[in-house]
Amino acid sequence: MHYEVPNLTSVLYEYTNKEQDLVKHAFRVGNYHSLRDLPDEIQPFAVTHNLKIKIQDSNLNSQITSQNSKIYREILKGNGGVFQKFGWMPDQYSL
């Protein structure tokens, strides 16, 4: 199909200043990259490798959390939900 043909963006190089930008942003005041996410020794491709590891860890944590919430919902279904089921009993004050 025509949409499967490689286009110009598939042959362009990847952004080469990504690691430099990550280190720069980590030292700024309003940073969104943390210093603790940077490797102990800054070497070529070490920063992006740590970034990939962080993304994989967060994906794994989200998968585990979603599995735990599915199990928790199944437990709640069997128990009648968050609240326990109870039968209605007439109160003494309606006499």
The string of pLDDT tens digits covering residues 23-72 is: 888 888 888 778 888 888 888 889 889 889 988 999 999 999 888 888 87
pLDDT of residue 68: 85
If DSSP codes are grouped into helix, strand and coil, which group holds residue 42? coil
What is the Cα–Cα distance from 6 to 68, expressed in whole angstroms? Answer: 41
Q: Which amino acid is at 78?
A: G
pTM greater than 0.85: no
